[in-house]
């Protein structure tokens, strides 16, 4: 299978090249030229497999320049019971709210307690194999912009991986205390962490600029290095996310929650659009999805876009209690637009250029109609988020984090507006203990909060009885290794300094 750039369809590369490079030289994103089609027989075969077996099947259909043994090696090393606390890395919790069943796909049982582990535990294995196929002998410099969870998951996945170095940038006031402590205590000889004065969009724009600056790439080449990415702009990050939607459907069938062939809805708390895009890609392969419900917080640029066809980042930016969604430029939306425009690189490039120069673009009526046929956009604020956490805990003793609560709230809005009661998968993206202050505020009867973040974790555990994940419990006594802070426009200089390149 070949991949081309969303902004230059003439560029055609194999999977290993797309994963190694991360982003196209023209700034576009790599996308498959076609999608494998899964028929009834394929899905019935997948019903009999465990998560790892399903992953091997999906990877083999997209990574055609990898051998079966290489794919099996990646999968078996990534999705171990030790790392994910059980045989199924992505279990479904069956709960209810207002008497309505909720199928919550828990994607946070990995080593950093966030859904990014589902991709970032396997990406280092995919990348190192890709480098041997394409750039043998070079070291990869992984640049990451994070709104919280990607940073820690990438650091954990790439720590001490041979022939890689990783530098993570996060907004200094735009992540939770737990997320910040996770990143700044990261171990590993090949890792660096730096806060930037600005928001996530500033960090993301800075990383993209570094990728596409020839002078910096030339300096790396002189030192036998090349840039790559662990953000979901990298195909190796996005591909593993397709797997858990296909696997979840199989689990729903096997658990008797739906009949084979039934349609489902997918509800995703959405920031950079990669997670929900993966479910859309699964549908292109044959997964029977009726509606994609895109849930946003007060940074509701995606809600407005789905409803109007106008993407406009020229708006107030809010720092919310669901920081992984505090994003005004959703990078992976470019991949959806490419597909909805009939794989038109020219059209996609024009929209992306307009976003860079004017901060907005408007899609055609045809593309808007295609989008609205499949996607529903909704949002809620912090007050509604905490109220949802409270109701879910009181009604069924289920504790969720702030991002999952946004998804549940928007799902309720969708059902109320449409009357559609199609069984739905709700993506749960983080452990509630990663956002202990906000979750504790939502469920604490006395409203009295400890001052220390880890004391909040202990109180939340005492109040709810929900076990504290070991990776978070073990953080308490770790001392910070990093305290670097820089301006967004100084990111290129920081990268060269961190790599000891003049």
Tell whether the model's pLDDT for residue 148 goes beyond 80.
no
Specify the pLDDT at position 249: 98
Residue 11, helix vs strand vs coil: strand
Tell me whether residue 448 is exposed, middle or buried, using C-beta atoms within 10 angstroms of its C-beta: 0 to 12, 13 to 18, 19 or more: exposed
Tell whether the model's pLDDT for residue 502 goes beyond 80.
no
Residue 239, helix vs strand vs coil: helix
Residue 476 pLDDT class (50, 70, 90 cuts): confident
Specify the pLDDT at position 486: 95
- Whether 439 contacts 389, CB under 8 Å: yes
Cα 383–chain centre separation: 24
Average pLDDT over residues 41-65: 98
The per-type count for the chain, helices as H runs and strands as E runs, is 23, 16
Cα–Cα distance for residue pair 200/500, rounded to 1 Å: 26
Average pLDDT over residues 306-318: 97
CB atoms inside a 10 Å sphere around CB 232: 25
The DSSP bridge partners found for residue 460 are none
CB atoms inside a 10 Å sphere around CB 481: 14
Tell whether the model's pLDDT for residue 231 goes beyond 90.
no
Residue 458, helix vs strand vs coil: helix
Specify the pLDDT at position 149: 83
Average pLDDT over residues 288-293: 98
Cα–Cα distance for residue pair 81/83, rounded to 1 Å: 5
Cα–Cα distance for residue pair 488/482, rounded to 1 Å: 18
Residue 208 pLDDT class (50, 70, 90 cuts): confident
Q: Which two tokens stand for residue 359?
A: 């901060």
* Nearest partner of 343 among 2, 32, 21, judged by Cα: 32
DSSP 270-307: -SSSHHHHHHHHHHHTT--EEEEEEEE-S--HHHHHHH
Cα–Cα distance for residue pair 409/384, rounded to 1 Å: 7
405 or 227: which leads in pLDDT? 405
E strand residue ranges, 28-163: 30-32, 92-97, 100-106, 139-145
Cα–Cα distance for residue pair 222/463, rounded to 1 Å: 56
Cα–Cα distance for residue pair 304/113, rounded to 1 Å: 30
357-376 pLDDT, tens per residue?
999 999 999 999 999 999 99
Residue 30 pLDDT class (50, 70, 90 cuts): very high
Residue 170, helix vs strand vs coil: strand
105-125 pLDDT, tens per residue?
999 999 999 999 999 999 999
- Whether 302 contacts 294, CB under 8 Å: yes
C-alpha dihedral sign at 455, 154, 316, 372 = negative
Contacts of 218 (CB under 8 A, 6+ apart): none
CB atoms inside a 10 Å sphere around CB 272: 23
Max Cα separation, the chain?
Answer: 63
Q: What is the CA radius of gyration of the chain?
A: 21
Residue found under tokens 């940073």: 151
- Whether 296 contacts 270, CB under 8 Å: yes
Pairing relationship of beta strands 92-97 and 100-106 according to DSSP bridges = antiparallel
Specify the pLDDT at position 92: 98
Counting every residue written for the chain, the total comes to 502
Specify the pLDDT at position 351: 98
Q: From the candidates 56, 57, 116, 434, which is the catalytic residue? A: 116
Percentage of residues in the chain having pLDDT higher than 90: 87
67-81 pLDDT, tens per residue?
999 999 999 999 999
Average pLDDT over residues 175-191: 93
CB atoms inside a 10 Å sphere around CB 394: 10
Q: For residue 159, indicate whether it is catalytic.
A: no
* Nearest partner of 300 among 281, 286, 320, judged by Cα: 320
Calculate the alpha carbon distances from 306 to 145, 235, 364, 411, 490 in Å.
Answer: 25, 24, 12, 15, 35
Residue 400 pLDDT class (50, 70, 90 cuts): very high
Cα–Cα distance for residue pair 497/476, rounded to 1 Å: 31
Q: Which two tokens stand for residue 449?
A: 């909060």
Residue 40 pLDDT class (50, 70, 90 cuts): very high
Specify the pLDDT at position 439: 97
Sheet containing 484-487, strands listed edge to edge, beginning at the edge strand earlier in sequence: 225-229, 139-145, 164-171, 191-197, 484-487
Specify the pLDDT at position 68: 98
176 or 68: which leads in pLDDT? 68
391 or 150: which leads in pLDDT? 391
Tell whether the model's pLDDT for residue 193 goes beyond 80.
yes
Residue 211 pLDDT class (50, 70, 90 cuts): confident
Q: Which two tokens stand for residue 465?
A: 């009885």
Tell whether the model's pLDDT for residue 96 goes beyond 80.
yes
Residue 448 pLDDT class (50, 70, 90 cuts): confident
Tell me whether residue 155 is exposed, middle or buried, using C-beta atoms within 10 angstroms of its C-beta: 0 to 12, 13 to 18, 19 or more: buried
452-474 pLDDT, tens per residue?
888 999 999 999 999 999 999 88
């Amino acid at each position: 299978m070949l991949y081309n750039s969303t902004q230059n369809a003439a560029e055609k590369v194999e999977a290993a090249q797309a994963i190694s490079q991360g982003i196209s030289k023209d700034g576009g994103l790599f996308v498959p030229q076609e999608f494998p089609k899964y028929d009834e027989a394929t899905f019935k075969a997948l019903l009999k497999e465990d998560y790892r077996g399903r992953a091997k099947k999906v990877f083999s259909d997209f990574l055609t320049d990898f051998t079966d043994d290489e794919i099996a090696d990646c999968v078996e090393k990534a999705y171990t019971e030790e790392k994910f606390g059980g045989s199924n890395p992505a279990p479904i919790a069956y709960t209810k709210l207002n008497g309505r069943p909720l199928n919550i796909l828990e994607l946070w049982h990995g080593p950093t307690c966030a859904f990014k582990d589902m991709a970032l535990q396997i990406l280092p294995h995919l990348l190192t194999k890709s480098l041997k196929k394409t750039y043998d002998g070079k070291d990869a410099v992984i640049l990451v912009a994070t709104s919280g969870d990607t940073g820690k998951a990438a650091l954990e996945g790439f720590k001490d991986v041979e022939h890689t170095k990783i530098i993570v940038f996060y907004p200094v006031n735009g992540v939770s205390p737990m997320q910040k402590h996770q990143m700044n205590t990261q171990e590993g000889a090949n890792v660096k962490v730096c806060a930037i004065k600005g928001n996530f969009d500033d960090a993301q724009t800075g990383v993209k600029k570094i990728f596409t600056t020839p002078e910096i790439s030339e300096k790396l080449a002189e030192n036998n290095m090349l840039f790559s990415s662990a953000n979901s702009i990298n195909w190796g990050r996005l591909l593993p996310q397709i797997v858990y939607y296909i696997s979840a459907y199989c689990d729903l069938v096997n658990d008797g929650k739906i009949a084979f062939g039934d349609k489902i809805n997918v509800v995703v708390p959405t920031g950079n659009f990669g997670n929900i895009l993966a479910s859309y890609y699964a549908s292109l392969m044959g997964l029977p999805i009726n509606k994609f419900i895109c849930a946003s917080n007060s940074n509701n640029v995606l809600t407005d876009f789905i409803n109007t066809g106008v993407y406009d980042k020229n708006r107030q930016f809010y720092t919310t209690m669901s920081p992984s969604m505090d994003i005004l430029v959703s990078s992976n939306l470019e991949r959806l637009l490419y597909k909805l425009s009939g794989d038109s690189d020219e059209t996609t490039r024009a929209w992306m250029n307009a976003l860079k120069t004017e901060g907005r673009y408007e899609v055609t009526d045809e593309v808007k109609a295609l989008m609205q046929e499949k996607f529903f956009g909704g949002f809620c604020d912090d007050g509604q988020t905490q109220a949802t956490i409270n109701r879910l805990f009181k009604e069924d003793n289920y504790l969720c984090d702030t991002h999952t609560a946004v998804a549940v709230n928007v799902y309720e809005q969708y059902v109320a507006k449409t009357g559609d009661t199609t069984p739905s998968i709700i993506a749960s993206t983080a452990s509630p203990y990663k956002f202990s202050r906000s979750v504790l505020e939502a469920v604490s009867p006395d409203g009295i909060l400890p001052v220390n973040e880890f004391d909040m974790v202990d109180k939340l555990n005492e109040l709810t009885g929900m076990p504290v994940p070991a990776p978070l419990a073990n953080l308490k006594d770790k001392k910070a290794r990093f305290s670097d802070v820089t301006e967004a426009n100084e990111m290129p200089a920081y990268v060269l300094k961190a790599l000891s390149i003049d």
